[in-house]
Structure 1
Amino acid sequence: MKLLEWLRGEGRIQGFLRDLLFVAVVVGVISILSQVTLGVWTPMVAVESGSMHPNMKVGDIIVIQGASRTEVVTWKEGEARGYSTFNNPGNVILYKPYGKEKLTLADQAAHIFLRRPYPPDKATPVIHRAISWVDEGEPMWEGGPAAPFAGYITKGDNNSEIDQNAGQLLGVVRESYFNEQMARGMIEEMGNGTYLDHELGYTFIRRGDEVYVIFGINYLMPVREDWVIGVARYRVPLVGYVRLLPSIVGNEIREFFS
């Protein structure tokens, strides 16, 4: 009770704490309502690149419905049904590239203000259109390699290549390193010859007797169903610049002092 009486006081500290508590309660209520209605705790993402231009622009806020609350309609299915969103057939999905966990606000703040590199086993979610579904063993594109597991083929509306064909092989992994990381439990097998190194963030793919390091958005792998965070539903122009502003300012500061 004494604490409550103290919080009701007129001092600056009490006022600041009351404001902070109010904001925390509002954010909590919004998060709970979002989870109940949309199936996600954080229903909005800011568009950070031009890969979906002009249907989604840098600085837009996109409202996401959780994957557990809806189905994903691919471009091919959308064409057959006459169903479109954001000016093209099918759904735009938010997914975790290579299944990596999302960057936290703390990760982003440390990168912007302390110049720390992003954790290698995390990545910014990608918001691209689901083009088609492939089963394990099916070619990921015409004349392309077989899918190591079932999942979605994805593409930015403004990109010339699908995500699965937008990347490169960086080289062959030393067998000693690969075996050592496997023994330490730092490499996760993602299915059918694909692996994720949680220590350094590398993505590997085994072909025959050799293991290659690969680089890209989701190169040589479809987007597994459990990597899909949700489906894009609404677009709010420009508001996302509030979310992107710290990164923009941080980059300008680094440029100035570099």
Structure 2
Amino acid sequence: MMRNLSGLLAPAAAVLLVAVVVAAVAGAWPPFVAVESGSMAPEVERGDLVVVTSTDRFPWGGIVGAAEAGAPTTFGRAGDVVVFDPPNDGTRPILHRIAFPVSAGEDWTDRADPALLDGDCATLATCPAPYDGYVTYGDANGGYDQSVGIAPVVREEWITAKALFAVPNLGWFRVGVDAAIARVGLLPTAVGFGGLAAATGGFGALLLGRVTGRRAVRDEREE
């Protein structure tokens, strides 16, 4: 019984081990972000899984905006893509690109791309900048987050991680887990998904064992 139990739990343990290793390398937890909108399309689509790192993790340290000289390329365009979570905003964390940093009191529209502005400094609630921070945007959106009302100027302490690369479609599992947690709670979700992973792994191991056994019997008969 103990041997069967360990075999069933092995897949779940393997998934946890991979997550811990990735987190140790990336310096962020969780080390994955499931994309739930198309605001970073076409390079990052809804349902993709994005691997992230700490913003100060070597060799990816620091935050560089798209308008800065020598900006790194992330998801096909210049500038870092970050995860930020404005407090008391009522929305889920946002995965968007850094446009440029701003200073408190600055009329940041003077150096903004006019195509991404929905008004001038006199009409925007986020201009002049109320504090030091960053202007951000989604690649597929038609304006800066601070221009169209998606987010205020992003304080550096709100930025929790920086994106490294995306894996297509693997984020649907994370989206499903989050939806289940929101609906039934953490413990029932953990038990349910853990049992599903264990059962799937056990079924796979059983199937593989049967296939291997049949091959062994066939080889013995042929000899």
- The alignment's TM-score, normalised by the length of structure 2, stands at 0.64
CA contact (8 A) 2:99 2:134 kept: yes
* Structure 1 gap ranges (5+): 1-6, 101-120, 168-216, 250-258
Q: Displacement, 1:232? A: 0.9
CA distance in 2, matches of 1:55, 1:9: 44
Q: Displacement, 1:123? A: 3.2
- Code of the residue aligned with 1:86 in structure 2: it is F
| Residue of structure 1 equivalent to 2:76 | 87
CA distance in 2, matches of 1:247, 1:30: 19
1:155 to 137, 159, 163: 137
CA contact (8 A) 2:79 2:99 kept: yes
State the Cα deviation string for residues 8-53 of structure 1 (Å, max 9, x = none). 276xxxx2x8734x45644543343233211112111111111111
| Residue of structure 2 equivalent to 1:44 | 32
CA distance in 2, matches of 1:226, 1:237: 29
2:107 to 135, 139, 146: 139
How large is the Cα RMSD of the aligned pairs? Answer: 2.8
* Structure 2 gap ranges (5+): 111-119, 122-126, 181-223
Larger Rg: 2
1:241 to 144, 157, 172: 172
Report whether the alignment pairs 1:8 with 2:11. Answer: no
- The alignment's TM-score, normalised by the length of structure 1, stands at 0.56
Q: Displacement, 1:161? A: 1.2
Q: Displacement, 1:148? A: 1.1
Q: Which has the higher strand share?
A: 1
CA contact (8 A) 2:64 2:71 kept: no
Secondary structure at 2:53 match in 1: strand
Superposed, 1:1-258 pairs within 5 Å as 8=2, 15=5, 19-20=8-9, 22=10, 25-69=13-57, 70-77=61-68, 80-81=69-70, 83-96=72-85, 98-100=86-88, 123-142=91-110, 143-144=120-121, 145-167=127-149, 217-218=150-151, 221-245=152-176
CA distance in 1, matches of 2:168, 2:33: 12
Q: Which has the higher helix share?
A: 2
Q: Displacement, 1:162? A: 0.5
Task: Provide closer, same or farther for how the CA distance between residues 228 and 247 of structure 1 changes in structure 2, counting only shifts above 3 A.
Answer: closer
- Code of the residue aligned with 1:243 in structure 2: it is R
Secondary structure at 1:138 match in 2: coil
The count of corresponding residues between Structure 1 and Structure 2 is 164
Instruction: Give % identity.
Output: 33
Q: Displacement, 1:152? A: 0.9
CA contact (8 A) 2:48 2:167 kept: yes
Q: Displacement, 1:228? A: 0.7
CA distance in 2, matches of 1:228, 1:138: 21
Q: Displacement, 1:247? A: 7.5
